[in-house]
Structure 1
Amino acid sequence: MHRVFISVLVLGSCYLNAVNAQISKLKQGFLHPPDSAKPGVYWYFMDGNMSARSISEDLEAMKKAGIGNLVFLEVNVGIPRGKVEFLSDEWQELFAHAVKESKRLGIEITLGIGPGWTGSGGPWVPIEQSMQHLVSSTVNIAGGGKRAINLPIPAPKPPYFGEGAFTPELKKQWDDFYEDVAVLAYPTPSLPSSKITDIDEKALYYRAPYSSVKGVKQYLPTVAEYKDMPKNAAIDKSKIIDLTDKLRADGTLNWTAPKGNWTIIRFGRRNNGAITRPAPVPGLGFEADKFDTVALNAHLDNYVGKLVNKTGRPDVGEAGGLKRLHMDSWEMGAQNWTPHFREEFKKRRGYDPLPYYPVYAGNVVESEEISERFLWDLRQTAQELVLENHAGQVKKYAHKFGLELSIEPYDMNPTADLELGSVADVPMAEFWNKGLGFNSSFSCIEATSIGHVNGKSLVPAEAFTAQDNEGWKQYPGAMKNQGDWAFATGINRFVYHTFQNQFLADSLRPGATMGPYGVHWDRNQTWWPMVGGYHDYISRCQYILQQGQAVADILYLSPEGSPHVFRPPSSAMDGDLVLPDRKGYNFDGCSPGQLYKAIVKNKKIVFPGGSSYRLLVLPAIKTMTPALLQKITSLVNDGAVVVGAPPLKSPGLSGYPSCDEQVRTISRSLWGTLQEPSEQITHTYGKGKIIWGGSLDTQINDLYPEYDLTAQILKSMNVEQDFTADGQLRYTHRYTDDMDIYFVSNRTDQVVQTDVSFRSVKGHAQLWDPITGESRALPECVVKGQLTTLPLKFDAYQSYFVCFVNNVLPVSSTNKNFSINKVVKTLAGPWLVSFDPKWGGPPNIVFNELKDWTQRTEEGIKYYSGTAVYHKIFDLPRNLSSKENQRLYLDLGEIKNMGRVILNGKNLGVTWTAPFRVDITNAVLEKQNHLEIEVVNLWPNRLIGDENFPDDGINNGKWPDWLTKGLPRTSHRFTFSTYKFYTKDSPLLKSGLIGPVTIQQSDF
């Protein structure tokens, strides 16, 4: 007995030691995040403006500032062309230099798969291997006599982005390229033919950007019921005649039409008008066929393969260098044809599409329902070809070299976003700076859903994209709230858009831009020397948010078909439209392709990557393929709980009409009836159940039931909300074997004190502060059932992690969660302030009081941009109490925009967000404290001031003579930029240390 007891003690001690070791490792990584946790940048080069010097200096600046990865792209946006021809030998040598330098510095490179910021194409893509449309021309004739029938060559569809992007050579190729596909004739319907609405979308001629064009459909709905139409208003499929072999080379038809009125349609393939954009001029060319592996591989060999041959095969074990390929947001439009499309369609859909070609032009064959079903099959076939022959093939190509593939699966994507993103090794999102561009917040929900369902630990986002009026206004403090929002959605790596390669001399600042686009995240920023403190915060957050698994209770199944943008019910989100936050029951979206991989364990839907969900919610779509319906049936039979109404038909023509009866048969079995109940009911099937009827089946604008209804179902399953606060906080929850990890952030600019409930009783609560890297116990708590409730306090936009640590005892000398700080001294009176004369400021000047620089009369201060140093000597107050564990802080009050505190020669770090406070306990003296505060503002004030001087910048697309010829600059301007955001009348931005600066003491 004693031996058993001792063994239990030993095992328990070993387990506890293992847990403590794991937690200790996690805390060490939190304090000093590895390179894998660091943020990245989009590193843009501007059409030949590059050098080995600028490459090395950029990369070294990234390394010093805490940037760990980048996306390499070359574009042509608003800057005169440089001397290094894209993809020339010199260009390739410079790319190899960038890879070599990135290896030296331990920075990962992700390479876009083509010139420009989107797509996969170039001048090496022959138009025969480009993206294609099936186009047509129509002739109506009266039969019964011999006559010459001339069939005009079908015109191409106008390019979505217009013909202005074509070079003359590309325009000529686009005009000239045409190949016949088929000629069909049929008796002209005796009644006016109905036309299919929105045929250009449904037949994949166009797909506009969902994020930036109003009215773009989230999805193309399928219905179970169609209005009847007169039979003689539609094309009779049985009477369609294939005349393809009757077409002569001159466009005349060798055919005598029988008596009656006939319609003849000539079908051919044309280029869809998509070219690389905005590519460097030598990189302009057609987009490669997205349905064809031969075309894609030829393109990849001409670009990626060529560069890999130059740099050498990537070494997977190295810390830096080329690590992955990247497909950026889909901005190439849609295609609906490739030479082997008919064969692929037959193989995948089980019938010949030829008789339905008239539907491409909006004509109705047989009936509206039959035609719409064909169009669904058309889009489904196109989606499968994109997933397999494009995205899947890029992935295979990447893996051949030991590389990964990242994909931003949104915007003009003609497939379902979740399906395309699921191909990626690294699913990726994009979010634009709030107020400085488009609202693409939905893409974050999409990418994190893909990552969670597929078990991907890394979900990056192209972060803080901006345009037009950004103009160097953004800085870490202004971006914190939106950044914390992105973390709460599940994003765990920021890739800032953009770090523009700074190819100009260092004296010419702020230097090169990407035209009007991007938040300026490069080494020429005023605050770049201080950005490391912010990057430390980001890296600590990202490190923790890359651990373990995400927690979500609800899984929303997206419908079959394409295109589709996944959006949860609007009622499941809180906050504004640009920064929508999850409510207390978290969720993910799931595509049909992903759901096939799920199983049921302990009544939860579980995926191979480890994610699990308590509730599957079906979309309010009355069609479903028998295969997907059978999968859902098996999940319910094994114990899943599913919310949603039964489908009534299959969406396409495959297996029609027996497929519809198959759907109804399975639905009757699973739901018990096809009659929709007026009240919510639960139907048991196998080990699981289906919940439907009543309000659950009433959707106004969403595909899914109101959030409160699903919340009530979870409550009835004895599942508490994962997170409960008073509406001022946001959260996300991850877990490991030993910890529950909650990221919690204040989404207001006010101090918040509130009780917060967490669905965890795993262990003792701790606060992990990503600003400082410190962690401490949170001893005040109430544990009840599944919940732990903590009183929490947040400064403006403050965030931290609340961690519930299993079997690790808290270490605390107090019974309070938060200290109270009191002011013990205000540093009033004069300050000596030193500006940099190189940027127009006085080297030394006394400020009798702290004041906004723009309120000063001196133009060198009023228009100053850069760093100024505030100097002061102070004593601590007499008789200052010095209880054990009490801390002293220097609080800067209001500061525009960032500050570094140096006290008695000790660098105490950068303060960039509230509370603007540093711990001075171990640096302060009783008397004669020498304080320096480096304060940095933003570029706009100096840029605005310089608008009072003659303009000596880029003119008519050419560099100024003084720059190209090395002449003296006589304009008296201090700044130089390749894009103008301001005039002399633009409002100045508040700047400097405004204070009050105080010494504060905490009560523990």
Structure 2
Amino acid sequence: MKKLLFVAATALLAANVFAQSPKPVWPAVKKEMKPWTRWWWMGSAVDEKNIASLLKTYREAGFGGVEIAPIYGAKGFEKRYVTYLSPEWMSLLKYTVQQAGTLEMGVDLTNGTGWPFGGPQVKTEQAATKLFVQQYDIPAGKSVKEVLDSGPKLPDGQMQALTVANDHGEVLDLWGKDDLQKMKWTPEKGSWKLYAAISGKTRQMVKRAAPGGEGFTLDHLSSASVTTYLDRFDKAFNGKSPGVRSFFNDSYEVYDATWSPAFFSEFEQRRGYDLRLHLPELVSKEKTDRVSRVKSDYRETMAEMLLANFTVNWTNWAHRNGGLSKNQSHGSPGNLLDLYGAVDIPECETFGSSYFPIPGLRRDSADIRNVDPDPMMLKFASSAAHTHGKPLVSSETFTWLTEHFKTSLSQAKPELDQVFLSGVNHVFFHGATYSPEDVPYPGWLFYASVNFVPSNSFWPHLKGLNEYIMRCQSVLQAGRSDNELLIYWPVYDAWSNPAGMDMPLKVHDVDVWLHPTQFYKTAVSLQQSGYSFDFASDKVLAGATSGGSTVVTSPQANPYQTLIVPQCKLMPVGTFKHIIRLAREGATVIFQELPEDVPGLSSLEAARKELSSLKASLEFSAWNGLKRCLVGKGAILVSADVKKALLSKDIRGEAMTEKGLNFIRRKAGNDTWYFVANLSAKSVTGSVSFNRVGRQVLIMDPMDGSYGAVDPQKTETTSTVDLRLQPGETRIIRIGAPAPGFSKWQYPEAATKSMLITNSWKLSFTQGGPELPADQVVKNLVSWTELNDPRTINYSGSAVYTTTFNLAARPPGPSLLDLGKVAESAHVWINGKDAGFAWSIPFRLRVEKFLKPGLNTLRIEVANLMANRMRYMDQQGISWRNYNEINFVNIDYKPFDASKWKPMASGLLGPVRLVY
């Protein structure tokens, strides 16, 4: 029954229900389309009253759900702490799920406290494990026992191997001998080295654990350890589903976990040879081919164990408990595509701040992490979802976007748009901290967060951002991804790196394992040329079929027009066979070069011989400046210039990228949806072509929900429309069958007349602190920090500007209110009517429907950031950070201190113009 319920829930998640109205435009809103937020329960010091109040506050701000993440608590509140998974804790979880349900919100639950998985149920034998290999020189005539007794002490743990090797390549496994024989073994002559392998423990504890969650980190490579870990949840759930939508696992941060007690046996079963005989290569620092092959086999085995023993095991457990699995696979020592593909909701992560050349976008180098998020890294998660036909791709978004209290909503938007362009359609904020109402300003805060909390000055305007996300995600969750290319990821080239032992594929190490590769360079080049694509692993290709001339990776996935194999040195014979099979069935495959060799050491010569035979069987001839081999119903092309090969098959990229636009495309029924973003420094005005044809094209603005029809110029393969985007702006384009009743799209950017609003402004400070400054009348718009009132320098909160302006007549066409520079967001009313939020660059709103002839009243509520008030609090020595763990750090992980900050510009800086 539970399985049937899960299947039904998954089907409902995958469905895309459109609004039933005479004018169906935006897809009908579901809670998954709204942003969700990670919800830190500090010390799990939560209660029903505050849970209910906060959930209601989040819903009013536009959130669709929360992801509960218990962590360390605040000092002085220990009596309120609730032990993790205790009956009281479970009762609070149940209450949260019920309250969220009444608000039509969802709840996800982290399967642990802090990160990574671990806790008191993880005893030493189930804890994360490390391989220690102690090396000793054994001179002739000296026994193993004598060497061990006189040499360095062995690490604590279970000995699993004693291997000896000499300079001539002789290797002996002493482990099969009885203990007496092992210890007695003595070389008669020559120089030998002894390798003693110990299965020990990393001793890593759960990081940022909540009360009741403290303990060792889990051995993720052991199925028995994972089962023992999950048993604690089964007991707490008492046979009943907790009602959460999905269970979550944060990024893999299990440090130095290079082993599991069953590794030797698993390795031999999977790779076909005894790793004990290759300990010299496993720990070697040499860069030989043999060392690379052994380490590749070791990493592949670790990847398979992590996939089977943890990811699949945990996902099955989630299904049995009535939920989905949501996993951050990055950082894992495995094939990221396979790990992401094994869960229901793959989740990526943005960490740090990207550079965008958008004019006016604030980016202070002192307030950002020296980490540039790479959108190509995000595509590993979205590719796994797309190739497996999974409807949702989530993202932990805005982690350490800027220094605390200095992040504006306008800074969040381009980072968010880049996430959307990478295939994400289910954003999670990082994040919101549960804080009871009796905790004074600024409440409880998490050390690595943008702090999307009600105490943040921008909270009154957050709904503007959240509604934008909702509209974008309603489209980005529609139908299927419509990427035309499938690109093979040659993971074995990465695994064959002779340096080190395990290879966690971390976000922060992309300069090592991703950026130098031809795979990465090819993908970036294709994206710049307007192509859209997903990545495929060997496992995905093994299950792929040819749908006529296309490559089909899943019945729920959109077919790909071709498969591209970037230049790679190593490829398993099985993968090469699958690629040839796809071509034989009708697909076109493009190689930059045929693979040189096979990976690993197992049956090496036989595998090499088979690969060589397969390559020899392909008869290539010159064709259109390429090499082509006709195979069955399809073809294999070889060209270093992938774009040339694509054009030879009439596969063309979207021309809009030449204008500086970025896009992502979805297919839903007869409609094609484009999300288009201008993240460049220049405006885009004029004709833009789309590689899809329809009888009707709609232009839709996700900022305010407006839309209208345009008449496209059509060819057999393209639709061309007039599109106008300022730097930082986005549009959604819907191309499809005609529907009656749509008005023509009006181009507000075409307005040419401008009226500067020069009347004086009444300025009233309405909500914030440390105290409200007095009302003022200002003639010139300047920062609050420049007003003649010392209270405005320290003020964080909202203030209202009110003025009037005269119009001889109502403008006949589209009109824009251009606020100029805003520090940092605004909410506008014209003639008493809500004209919307202006929270991002360019700070402009469509206002024609609010204007009238004669006197018009303009009311603008502006919110600044928390920075100036936090600066004041630190200067005055006011206590606000006092936590039982990391306490509170700045963006460089040093003790936080805002006292030396300069005041940040705040308020409406203008100039304010009416453009019509």
Residue by residue over 1:249-298, the C-alpha shift from the partner in whole angstroms, topping out at 9 and shown as x without a partner, is xxx92445545554433322101343321323653322222222111011
Change (3 A) 1:546 1:142: same
Residue by residue over 1:466-515, the C-alpha shift from the partner in whole angstroms, topping out at 9 and shown as x without a partner, is 06x52222122222122112211211121111212223636x22332212
Once residues 838 and 337 of structure 1 are traced to their aligned partners in structure 2, the CA distance between those partners, rounded to angstroms, is 53
Do the aligned residues in 2 keep the contact of 1:504 with 1:512 (CA within 8 Å)? no
Residue 399 of structure 2 corresponds to which residue in structure 1? 465
Identity percentage over the alignment?
A: 24
Q: Give the drift of 1:547.
A: 1.0
Q: Secondary structure at the match of 1:402?
A: coil
Residue by residue over 1:107-164, the C-alpha shift from the partner in whole angstroms, topping out at 9 and shown as x without a partner, is 2222222221x3221122111112223323334334458896252599899xxxxxxx
Residue 313 of structure 1 corresponds to which residue in structure 2? 241
Structure 1 stretch 732-741 or stretch 637-646: which is displaced more?
A: 637-646
Change (3 A) 1:671 1:423: farther
Once residues 283 and 430 of structure 1 are traced to their aligned partners in structure 2, the CA distance between those partners, rounded to angstroms, is 24
Q: Secondary structure at the match of 2:612?
A: helix
Do the aligned residues in 2 keep the contact of 1:178 with 1:268 (CA within 8 Å)? yes
Q: Secondary structure at the match of 1:942?
A: helix
Residue 181 of structure 1 corresponds to which residue in structure 2? 160
Q: Secondary structure at the match of 1:938?
A: coil
Change (3 A) 1:533 1:274: same
Q: Give the drift of 1:950.
A: 3.8
Change (3 A) 1:946 1:890: same
Gaps of 5+ in 2: 1-16, 355-367, 496-502, 506-512, 888-892
Do the aligned residues in 2 keep the contact of 1:489 with 1:582 (CA within 8 Å)? no
Residue 126 of structure 2 corresponds to which residue in structure 1? 129
Q: Secondary structure at the match of 1:624?
A: coil
- Which amino acid is the alignment partner of residue 397 of structure 1? W
Q: Secondary structure at the match of 1:573?
A: helix
- Which amino acid is the alignment partner of residue 867 of structure 1? S
In the alignment, is residue 534 of structure 1 matched against residue 465 of structure 2? yes
Residue 310 of structure 2 corresponds to which residue in structure 1? 390
Report the TM-score, using the length of structure 2 for normalisation: 0.86
Once residues 147 and 350 of structure 1 are traced to their aligned partners in structure 2, the CA distance between those partners, rounded to angstroms, is 28
Q: Secondary structure at the match of 1:724?
A: helix
Residue 229 of structure 1 corresponds to which residue in structure 2? none
Structure 2 counterparts to residues 586-605 of structure 1, below 5 A: 586-605=532-551
Residue 890 of structure 2 corresponds to which residue in structure 1? none
Q: Give the drift of 1:86.
A: 3.8
In the alignment, is residue 380 of structure 1 matched against residue 300 of structure 2? yes
Q: Secondary structure at the match of 2:781?
A: coil
Once residues 788 and 246 of structure 1 are traced to their aligned partners in structure 2, the CA distance between those partners, rounded to angstroms, is 78
Residue 426 of structure 1 corresponds to which residue in structure 2? 345
Residue 701 of structure 2 corresponds to which residue in structure 1? 769
Q: Give the drift of 1:767.
A: 0.4
Q: Which of the numbers 673, 679, 690 marks the counterpart of 1:758?
A: 690
Residue by residue over 1:41-88, the C-alpha shift from the partner in whole angstroms, topping out at 9 and shown as x without a partner, is 111123354444443333222111111122221233997774315425
Q: Give the drift of 1:415.
A: 0.8
Change (3 A) 1:777 1:363: closer
User: How many residues were matched structurally?
Assistant: 855
Structure 2 counterparts to residues 328-407 of structure 1, below 5 A: 328-362=250-284, 368-407=288-327
Change (3 A) 1:122 1:682: same
Q: Which of the numbers 835, 838, 851 marks the counterpart of 2:782?
A: 851
Once residues 410 and 230 of structure 2 are traced to their aligned partners in structure 1, the CA distance between those partners, rounded to angstroms, is 41
Once residues 358 and 67 of structure 1 are traced to their aligned partners in structure 2, the CA distance between those partners, rounded to angstroms, is 55
Once residues 813 and 938 of structure 1 are traced to their aligned partners in structure 2, the CA distance between those partners, rounded to angstroms, is 39
Do the aligned residues in 1 keep the contact of 2:588 with 2:635 (CA within 8 Å)? yes
Q: Give the drift of 1:872.
A: 2.8
Once residues 894 and 864 of structure 2 are traced to their aligned partners in structure 1, the CA distance between those partners, rounded to angstroms, is 20
Residue 553 of structure 1 corresponds to which residue in structure 2? 484
Do the aligned residues in 2 keep the contact of 1:867 with 1:936 (CA within 8 Å)? yes
Change (3 A) 1:626 1:917: closer
Do the aligned residues in 2 keep the contact of 1:768 with 1:775 (CA within 8 Å)? yes
Q: Which of the numbers 562, 567, 571 marks the counterpart of 1:615?
A: 562
CA-atom RMSD in angstroms = 3.5
Change (3 A) 1:498 1:24: same
- Which amino acid is the alignment partner of residue 601 of structure 1? G
Q: Secondary structure at the match of 2:279?
A: helix
Structure 1 stretch 448-457 or stretch 280-289: which is displaced more?
A: 280-289
Change (3 A) 1:863 1:980: farther
Once residues 461 and 156 of structure 1 are traced to their aligned partners in structure 2, the CA distance between those partners, rounded to angstroms, is 46
Q: Which of the numbers 514, 520, 527 marks the counterpart of 1:569?
A: 520
Structure 2 counterparts to residues 649-664 of structure 1, below 5 A: 649-664=597-612
Q: Which of the numbers 420, 426, 433 marks the counterpart of 1:500?
A: 433
Do the aligned residues in 2 keep the contact of 1:824 with 1:1000 (CA within 8 Å)? yes
Do the aligned residues in 1 keep the contact of 2:42 with 2:210 (CA within 8 Å)? yes
Do the aligned residues in 1 keep the contact of 2:767 with 2:798 (CA within 8 Å)? no
Change (3 A) 1:934 1:652: same
In the alignment, is residue 106 of structure 1 matched against residue 104 of structure 2? yes
Residue by residue over 1:513-535, the C-alpha shift from the partner in whole angstroms, topping out at 9 and shown as x without a partner, is 212x1212122111212211221
Residue by residue over 1:622-645, the C-alpha shift from the partner in whole angstroms, topping out at 9 and shown as x without a partner, is 332222121111011112222223
Once residues 424 and 339 of structure 2 are traced to their aligned partners in structure 1, the CA distance between those partners, rounded to angstroms, is 18
Once residues 122 and 387 of structure 1 are traced to their aligned partners in structure 2, the CA distance between those partners, rounded to angstroms, is 21
Q: Secondary structure at the match of 1:253?
A: helix
Residue by residue over 1:859-884, the C-alpha shift from the partner in whole angstroms, topping out at 9 and shown as x without a partner, is 1223321111122344x433x1565x
Q: Secondary structure at the match of 2:293?
A: helix
Q: Give the drift of 1:669.
A: 1.3
Do the aligned residues in 2 keep the contact of 1:729 with 1:744 (CA within 8 Å)? yes
Do the aligned residues in 1 keep the contact of 2:529 with 2:657 (CA within 8 Å)? no
Once residues 242 and 771 of structure 1 are traced to their aligned partners in structure 2, the CA distance between those partners, rounded to angstroms, is 68
Change (3 A) 1:481 1:368: closer
Do the aligned residues in 1 keep the contact of 2:457 with 2:768 (CA within 8 Å)? no
Q: Secondary structure at the match of 1:414?
A: coil
Q: Which of the numbers 578, 582, 585 marks the counterpart of 2:531?
A: 585
Structure label with greater radius of gyration: 1
Structure 2 counterparts to residues 679-718 of structure 1, below 5 A: 680-692=626-638, 696=640, 709-718=641-650
Structure 2 counterparts to residues 81-480 of structure 1, below 5 A: 82-83=78-79, 84-87=81-84, 88-116=86-114, 118-144=115-141, 149=146, 151=148, 177-186=156-165, 188-189=166-167, 232=168, 234=169, 236-237=170-171, 239-242=172-175, 244-247=177-180, 253-255=183-185, 258=188, 261-280=191-210, 282-302=212-232, 304-309=233-238, 312-315=240-243, 322-362=244-284, 368-411=288-331, 413-434=332-353, 436-437=368-369, 438-441=371-374, 442-466=376-400, 470-480=403-413
